[in-house]
Amino acid sequence: MSRASDRAFETIRSMIVSGELSPGEQLVEEALADRCGVSRTPVRDALRRLESDMLVRRNDTQRTFVADWSLDDVADMFELRAMLEGHAAKLAAERMSDAALEELRRCNAELRRAVKATPPNVDLFLELNRDFHALILKVASSRRLATLLATLIEQPVIWRTAHHYGVDELARSSAEHDELLAAFARKDADWAQSIMSGHIRRAYHAYADAHHGLTAIDAADRKRRA
Amino acid sequence: MSRASDRAFETIRSMIVSGELSPGEQLVEEALADRCGVSRTPVRDALRRLESDMLVRRNDTQRTFVADWSLDDVADMFELRAMLEGHAAKLAAERMSDAALEELRRCNAELRRAVKATPPNVDLFLELNRDFHALILKVASSRRLATLLATLIEQPVIWRTAHHYGVDELARSSAEHDELLAAFARKDADWAQSIMSGHIRRAYHAYADAHHGLTAIDAADRKRRA
DNA sequence: AGCCGCATTATTGTATACAAATCCTATTCG
DNA sequence: CGAATAGGATTTGTATACAATAATGCGGCT
């Protein structure tokens, strides 16, 4: 997709992920078109893409809204992610090359530096974490799997809450990455799968712990807006 | 989506699934618009949807083509399906109600009748098989999972080859469904998961057996057309 | 002959106007 | 007072024209 459509997609996407557009809020094509400085046509394209990423949902009469996720939905999402990323790690272990392994090591070394900085560089951590997982997915080399996972990562839920991670959580992440590297080095597919699955599940509980007190407020807030 | 856009989607979709449009063939918006009797706008919508279902792919310059799948891709697809449908069966076993179980039983009874007819009614089998799996997915009640699986089922690969099933394969399917029903009745989630996973894997091998001799021809055929 | 550059054609992208559907509200009727 | 509803306002759907980009083929050049 060329300029206008991409711009619309990225603009709307970042507005959703940043929370500038609240969960449950209605998205009106013409208003978005104005904000993006394009016509409705590319906005419609963008909304379709966002819909397939499940960042927006449509009601039965074709109105679009920013997706809102219940705790159950989030739990669901993490469970699927644990399963699929575990599978990816397994495939990756079987297909890991020395070069790719070395790149993963470099990535995690940088990641650890970001964690150990004072104060820890959370944005950099997130970026390198993304890279690390993306690299594994690449080694797994399953187009299908990549597509499925794409809709599970990069969720606003994750992004808005990642900053709540404590330093200990961040450090634990890079330690788990080390374990993954060990499993990859030994080409132990089942081990890699187990670690990855646990890695994601731990992330879920970190999320849940940080949020279980907020959901009631969120729900009330959402209702008020609607 | 209202009439025109849906019509375009369904028309193009069925042309792909039936093989009227060959894998690798370029899809031109205006030509499709003519064939569907609508303008390019709804066709573009339809192509986006087909793209997210992975029935078409786009090259780097935005031309669209009917998706073509290598044997590896298909194996990949079945493996993911085995994993995800297995997970769905597990969730379903935990959440199965008596009413839903009864409905599944009725469905499989009908399915068995379709198999035992002379000659076996393969189209009816396929439809009921779909219903059976959809029902399980519904009981699993995970929106996310449903979305992910949607892109894996209903592939032309599957549809075009289902007719190659022998009577014994069909009978074995309904027998496996019976086992699933037993697992559901006892709410044995792990059992349900194992059976479902095996069920899909068996389907894969039936596919592979029927096709491993054809791929060379298919490839040549595809090349000739391109 | 082979290849490069340019004009031509084919195809997709975007804007816009208008049509259809949906939503909202005010008003009427029970 | 509440429910049904009619009609205006809002929003989405579709068609079409034109712009931008990519593919194709031609002609000249080496």
B138-184, pLDDT tens digit by residue? 999 999 999 999 989 878 777 767 777 788 889 999 999 999 999 99
At B96-152, the pLDDT tens digits run 999 999 999 999 999 999 999 989 998 899 999 999 999 999 999 999 999 999 989
Beta bridge partners of B27: B64
Q: What is the mean pLDDT of residues A73-86?
A: 95
Burial B33-66 (b: 16+ CB within 10 A, else e): beebebeeebbbbbbbbbbbbbbbeeeeeeebbb
Task: Identify the closest residue of chain A to B63 by CA–CA distance.
Answer: A1
Domains of chain B: residue spans and CATH = 3-68 (1.10.10.10), 71-211 (1.20.120.530)
Q: Cβ contact (<8 Å) for B142 and A62?
A: no
- B70 CA – C9 C1', rounded, Å: 33
Listed residue (B118, B199, B226, B211) closest to B158, CA to CA = B211
Residue B115, token pair as written in the block? 């198999």
CA-nearest residue of chain A to B145?
A80
Angstrom distance (rounded) from CA B177 to CA B183:
10
Q: Identify the pLDDT of residue A16.
A: 93
Of residues B68, B82, B8, the one with CA closest to residue B38: B8
With a pLDDT cut of 90, the percent of chain A lying above it is 73
Nearest-angstrom CA–CA distance, A223 and B20:
49
CA dihedral A45, A50, A53, A59 (to 10 degrees): -100
Long-range contacts of B194-201 (CB under 8 A, 24+ apart): B194/B86, B195/B89, B196/B82, B196/B85, B196/B86, B196/B88, B196/B89, B196/B136, B197/B82, B197/B83, B197/B85, B197/B86, B197/B89, B198/B82, B199/B85, B199/B173, B200/B78, B200/B81, B200/B82, B200/B85, B200/B86, B201/B78, B201/B82
> A144 and B44 in contact by Cβ < 8 A?
no
> Per-residue pLDDT tens for B4-49?
999 999 999 999 988 899 999 999 999 999 999 999 999 999 999 9
For chain B, percent of residues with pLDDT exceeding 70: 92
Residues of chain A in Cβ contact (below 8 Å) with chain B: 1-2, 44-45, 48-49, 52, 54, 62, 73, 76-77, 80, 83-84, 87, 142-145, 147-148, 151-152
Is the pLDDT at A158 greater than 90? The verdict is: no
Spatial CB neighbours of B123, under 8 Å, sequence gap ≥ 6: none
pLDDT at residue B72 greater than cutoff 60: yes
pLDDT > 60? residue A120: yes
Average pLDDT score, chain A: 90
CB A83 within 8 A of CB A197: yes
* Section A150-171 average pLDDT: 81
